[in-house]
Amino acid sequence: MTAMPAAFIGHGNPVNALERNRWTEAWRAFGRAVPRPRAVLVVSAHWYVPATAVTAMPRPRTIHDFFGFPRELFEVEYPAPGLPELHEQVADVVAPTRVGADVDSWGLDHGAWSVLRHAFPEADVPVVQLSVDALREPDHHLQLGAALAPLREDGVLVVGSGNVVHNLGAAGRAVPEGGLDWARRFDDAVRECMLTDPAAVTRLDGHPDFGRAVPTPDHFLPLLYLAGMAAASGTTADVLVDGFVHGSLSMASYTVGLPG
């Protein structure tokens, strides 16, 4: 079986769930380009908790984990089924890391459904989320991504959802698509790593703009899962789409193994 592609998606503003723009069009094109997955495993910045867990309910709920947005956004439902048995498969491949089975507390947050409702608009592909363990160092997340690589051989599409640069405090509507100088510098450094040596992204905490680009690790860590999968397969990533919104939110998205 040909390995399923994997991706990191810069999801940006939740309103992207409702809009048609060059980023959401790229996500639609991605969904059309991949073979139909057995399941999608999403590593979302918005399930950032002190544990590693997998959603294991047959019908995950749609979570509206934001505030201050249009009412229409709160009315969005993404009724994709779950795949409870994927929990055991994930637990096996990442052992000895312990993976909890979440049967009732989480579901699909907007890091997952704001992207997937464009990539798979029929919501007919099972979706499972993997939490980002807030207690672990970057190298652990890179290694966990590498450990997940065998799932791609079994029809599982692994998607990391976050943002390479995510600084809400510096965001301004006067620069809707142009990145601030420091944001562009860090985004460029990440691109260089992903296209040449993906595992090197864990060393970018020494970059002079890291502190402003990654004021909290939650949105950056999902990228490391794709970097780990790329490194495990001896390949590099490709750019799916790039750009900025509000100056300090990178929309850069990467793929591994996407058919040409």
Neighbours of 133 (CB within 10 A): 20
Q: Helix axis angle, 110-119 relative to 22-33, nearest 10°?
A: 70
Distances (CA, A) of 96 to 93, 173, 211: 9, 45, 32
Which tokens is 68 given? 């201050």
What value does the CA radius of gyration of the chain take, rounded to a whole number of Å? 17
pLDDT at 174 over 90: no
For 145-157, what is each residue's pLDDT tens digit?
Answer: 999 999 999 999 9
CATH number of the domain where residue 51 is located? 3.40.830.10
Q: Is residue 228 part of a domain?
A: yes
Number of structural domains found in the chain: 1
- Is position 1 within any domain? no
Residue 252: alpha-carbon gap to chain centroid: 11
Nearest to residue 55, comparing CAs of 122, 107, 120? 107
- Write down the pLDDT at residue 191: 98
196-247 per-position pLDDT tens digit: 999 999 999 999 999 999 999 999 999 999 999 999 999 999 999 999 998 9
Tokens of 17: 């769930």
Residue 117 lies in a domain: yes
Domain contains 29:
yes
DSSP state of 37: P
**Euclidean distance between CA atoms 40 and 127, whole angstroms:** 5
pLDDT at 50: 98
d(CA 100, CA 141): 16
pLDDT at 73: 86
Per-residue tokens: 153? 């051989």
Q: Which domain holds residue 132?
A: 6-256
Share the mean pLDDT of the chain.
95
Q: Is the link from the previous residue into 96 a cis peptide, with omega within 30 of 0?
A: yes
Strand partners, 162: 10
Longest dimension (CA), the chain: 48
- Cα–Cα–Cα angle for 226, 232, 234, nearest 5°? 105
State the DSSP code for 192. Answer: H
User: Phi first, then psi: what are they for 60, rounded to 5°?
Assistant: -65, 140
Whether the per-residue pLDDT at 1 is higher than 80: the answer is no
79 pLDDT more than 80: yes
First to last CA, the chain: 17
Q: Residue 10 is inside which H or E element, if any?
A: strand 6-10
Pairing of strands 244-245, 238-241: unpaired
Tell me, yes or no, if the pTM score tops 0.85. Answer: yes
Which of 260, 227, 255 shows the shortest CA–CA distance to 240?
255
Q: Where residue 122 falls among pLDDT bands split at 50, 70, 90?
A: very high
Q: What is the mean pLDDT of residues 29-58?
A: 97
Considering only CA atoms, which of 153, 150, 109 is closest in space to residue 14?
109
Instruction: Give the helix, strand, coil percentages of the chain, each rounded to 5.
Output: 40, 20, 40
